[in-house]
C-alpha cells in the first residue's frame, strides 16, 4: 500500500520521438544543395515540398494538396479560399484550441460556438439549431474525437453549410471507413511537433475542389509558379483566379518537407503505437469511482496521441486537488475548466475578440475535462504506471469528498 502510494513517474510529457534517421539524411541532403525554398529547383527536379503534397494527396485519396507554414495558416487559407471575409459568421466548436477561432478572426470572421457533448464531440443538436446562422462550419476534431460524421454531413448539407475540417489531432483517423479530412470540402492538418508528424511547424490542406485548390495555392504565395506543383489543378483553373487572389505568404519549405516525407510513410505504425499506449491508459483508468472514461464509438478509428477523462460535476477545488496530487507524483494533467488560459489550454470565454456566448451545458462538461498528452517516448509500462497514479489520486480525493458529505 505504502509502496503504491509513493510510486512516481519521472518521464517527460512533452518529449516526442526523435526525427527518424532517414528523415535526418533527407534534411541534410537539402541543406547540402541549399535549395530550401520550394520553388528553387535545379533542372527537372521536383522538390521535396511538391513531392510531399503529391504523396499526402495520394495517402488521403484527395485530388489536390497544398503544404503550408502551419496548421493555423492552413485553416485561415481554407476560409479565404472559399471567400469567408469581414463580418461573416463561422460555426465552430466551443471545445477546441485557440488557433481555430484565431483563424476565423484572422479573416475578419465571427466565431459562433457549437457546444460539446460528454463524448467530447460537437453537439449535433446544437449544430442543427445553429446551422441556419452561418454558411460555414470549421469543425475541429478536438483531441481526436470524431462525432457521427455521417449525421454531421447530413445536417450541414441540408442547411447549405460548407464544412472545413480541422484535423490537427486526426491525421490517420477515420469514421466509418472514410479518412478524417475527407468528409468536408477541405481538410487541414498540422505538422507541428505535438501532432502526428513533426517538422517543428507546418501544415497541409487537401480538397477535391479545383477552384478552392487553385485559390489556396495562390494565397499561400505561389506567385505565378503554380505549375511547379504536383498535386494542383490544371493551369486553366489558375487562369480564372490568379488576378483576384492575393499572395499571403505562408509556404512550406523543402527542409521541412524532406523531414515529413519519411514520417508520413511511417504514419500507420505510429498510429498503432499511440493506440497501444492509449488502450493501456484507458484500461488502467476504467472503473475508477468518480471518473468518466470517454467511450470510443465502433465507427471511429482514432489516434490516441492524447487521452481525456471527465471528473463530471466535481467541485473546482477537488479537481485542482487531483491535479496537484498527480503533479506531485510526476503526472502532468491539463484541465479545460481552469478559468484563466494556461500554456496551450484555453476556453471559449477567453477568446474575447469574439462576441460573448453562453453555453451552460458545455460549461458543465468543460469544467470536468482532464487532458493528458501521450508522447510515443512513453513505454506501455509508463502508461500503466501513470494510470495507477491517476486512479489512486482520483480515488483518494473522491473518497475525501464523500466523507465531507
| Distance between CA atoms of residues 190 and 202, nearest Å | 6
User: Scanning residues 172 to 231, which ones bind ligand PLP (CB under 6 A)?
Assistant: 190, 192, 203
The label of the residue with cell 477568446 reads: 351
| 91 forms part of the interface with ligand PLP (CB under 6 A) | no
Q: How many CA atoms lie within 13 A of 236 on its CB side?
A: 0
Q: Which is nearer to ligand PLP, 13 or 63 (CB)?
A: 13
Nearer to ligand PLP, 284 or 337 (CB): 337
92, β-bridge pairs: 113, 138
Choosing from 97, 107, 127, 310, the residue that interacts with ligand PLP (CB under 6 A) is: 97
> Three-state DSSP class for 9?
coil
Looking at 49, 77, 140, 263, which residue binds ligand PLP (CB under 6 A)?
140
CB atoms within 10 A of CB 142: 25
Among 47, 99, 187, 290, binds ligand PLP (CB under 6 A): 99
Question: Does residue 375 bind ligand PLP (CB under 6 A)?
Answer: no
Q: By CB under 6 A, tell whether 252 contacts ligand PLP.
A: no
Nearest to ligand PLP of 163, 237 (CB atom): 163
Enter the DSSP assignment of 166: E
Part in contact with ligand PLP (CB under 6 A); list of ranges 17-25, 96-104, 311-319, 333-341: 96-104
Shortest reach from residue 185's CB to ligand PLP, in Å: 17
Cα separation, 40 vs 306, in Å, equals 38
Nearest approach, Cβ of 166 to ligand PLP (angstroms)?
Answer: 5
Could you list the beta-strand ranges (E) of 249-351: 292-293, 300-301, 306-310, 334-335
Strands (E), 146-214: 162-166, 174-175, 178-179, 186-190, 203-207
Distances in Å between the Cα of 389 and the Cα atoms of 141, 213, 282, 327, 336 are 28, 48, 13, 10, 20
- For position 121 contacting ligand PLP by CB under 6 A, the verdict is no
Tell me which residue has its CB nearest to ligand PLP. Answer: 71
Q: Taking the complex as a whole, how short is the minimal distance between the CB of residue 147 and ligand PLP, in angstroms?
A: 14
Maximum distance among all Cα pairs of the chain, rounded to whole angstroms: 76
Alpha carbon distance 303, 281 (integer Å): 14
| Contact flag: residue 259 with ligand PLP (CB under 6 A) | no
Q: Does 100 bind ligand PLP (CB under 6 A)?
A: yes
Among 72, 109, 262, 375, binds ligand PLP (CB under 6 A): 72
| CB 307, min distance to ligand PLP, A | 15
Give min distance, CB of 231 to ligand PLP, in A: 20
**Radius of gyration for the alpha carbons in the chain, expressed in angstroms and rounded:** 22
CA-CA distance, 401 to 405, in Å (whole number)?
6
Beta-bridge mates of residue 178: 175
**Is residue 166 involved in binding ligand PLP (CB under 6 A)?**
yes
Looking at the Cβ atoms of 71 and 109, the one nearer to ligand PLP is: 71
Q: Beta 186-190 vs 203-207: how paired, if at all?
A: antiparallel
Nearer to ligand PLP, 172 or 284 (CB): 172
What's 356's DSSP letter?
P
Neighbours of 2 (CB within 10 A): 5
Q: How far is the CB of 124 from ligand PLP (least distance, A)?
A: 19
Smallest separation (angstroms) from ligand PLP to the CB of 256: 11
Determine, following the binding rule CB under 6 A, whether residue 142 of this chain makes contact with ligand PLP. Answer: yes
The reply to whether 170 sits near ligand PLP by the rule CB under 6 A is no
* Site residues, ligand PLP (CB under 6 A): 70-72, 96-97, 99-100, 140, 142, 166, 168-169, 190, 192, 203
Amino acid at each position: 500500500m505504502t509502496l503504491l502510494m509513493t510510486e512516481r513517474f519521472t518521464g517527460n510529457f512533452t518529449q516526442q520521438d526523435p526525427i527518424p534517421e532517414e528523415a535526418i539524411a533527407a534534411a541534410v541532403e537539402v541543406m547540402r544543395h541549399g535549395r530550401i525554398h520550394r520553388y528553387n529547383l535545379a533542372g527537372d527536379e521536383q522538390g521535396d515540398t511538391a513531392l510531399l503534397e503529391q504523396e499526402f494527396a495520394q495517402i488521403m485519396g484527395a485530388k489536390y494538396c497544398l503544404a503550408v507554414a502551419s496548421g493555423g495558416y492552413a485553416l485561415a487559407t481554407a476560409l479565404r479560399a472559399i471567400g469567408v471575409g469581414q463580418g461573416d459568421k463561422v460555426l465552430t466548436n466551443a471545445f477546441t484550441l485557440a488557433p481555430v477561432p484565431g483563424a476565423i478572426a484572422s479573416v475578419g470572421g465571427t466565431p459562433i460556438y457549437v457546444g460539446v457533448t460528454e463524448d467530447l464531440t460537437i453537439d449535433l443538436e446544437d449544430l442543427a439549431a445553429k446551422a441556419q446562422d452561418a454558411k460555414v462550419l470549421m469543425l475541429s476534431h478536438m483531441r481526436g474525437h470524431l462525432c457521427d460524421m455521417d449525421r454531421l454531413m447530413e445536417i450541414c448539407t441540408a442547411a447549405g453549410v460548407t464544412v472545413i475540417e480541422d484535423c490537427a489531432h486526426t491525421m490517420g483517423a477515420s469514421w466509418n471507413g472514410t479518412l478524417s479530412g475527407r468528409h468536408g470540402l477541405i481538410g487541414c492538418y498540422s505538422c507541428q511537433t505535438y501532432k502526428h508528424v513533426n517538422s517543428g511547424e507546418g501544415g497541409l490542406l487537401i480538397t477535391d475542389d479545383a477552384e478552392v485548390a487553385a485559390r489556396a495555392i495562390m494565397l499561400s504565395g505561389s506567385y505565378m509558379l503554380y505549375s511547379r506543383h504536383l498535386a494542383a489543378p490544371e493551369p486553366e483553373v489558375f487562369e480564372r483566379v490568379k488576378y483576384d487572389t492575393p499572395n499571403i505568404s505562408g509556404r512550406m519549405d523543402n527542409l521541412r518537407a524532406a523531414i515529413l516525407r519519411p514520417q508520413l510513410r511511417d504514419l500507420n505504425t505510429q498510429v498503432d503505437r499511440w493506440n497501444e499506449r492509449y488502450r493501456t491508459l484507458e484500461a488502467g483508468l476504467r472503473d475508477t469511482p468518480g471518473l468518466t472514461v470517454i467511450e470510443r464509438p465502433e465507427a471511429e478509428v482514432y489516434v490516441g496521441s492524447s487521452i481525456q477523462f471527465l471528473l463530471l460535476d466535481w467541485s473546482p477545488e477537488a479537481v485542482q486537488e487531483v491535479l496537484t496530487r498527480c503533479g506531485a507524483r510526476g503526472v502532468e494533467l491539463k484541465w479545460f475548466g481552469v478559468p484563466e488560459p494556461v500554456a496551450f489550454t484555453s476556453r471559449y470565454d477567453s477568446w474575447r475578440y469574439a462576441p460573448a456566448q453562453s453555453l451552460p451545458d458545455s460549461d458543465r462538461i468543460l469544467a470536468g475535462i482532464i487532458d493528458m498528452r501521450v508522447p510515443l517516448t512513453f513505454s506501455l509500462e509508463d502508461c500503466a504506471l501513470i494510470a495507477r497514479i491517476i486512479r489512486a489520486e482520483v480515488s483518494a480525493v473522491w473518497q475525501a469528498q464523500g466523507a465531507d458529505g
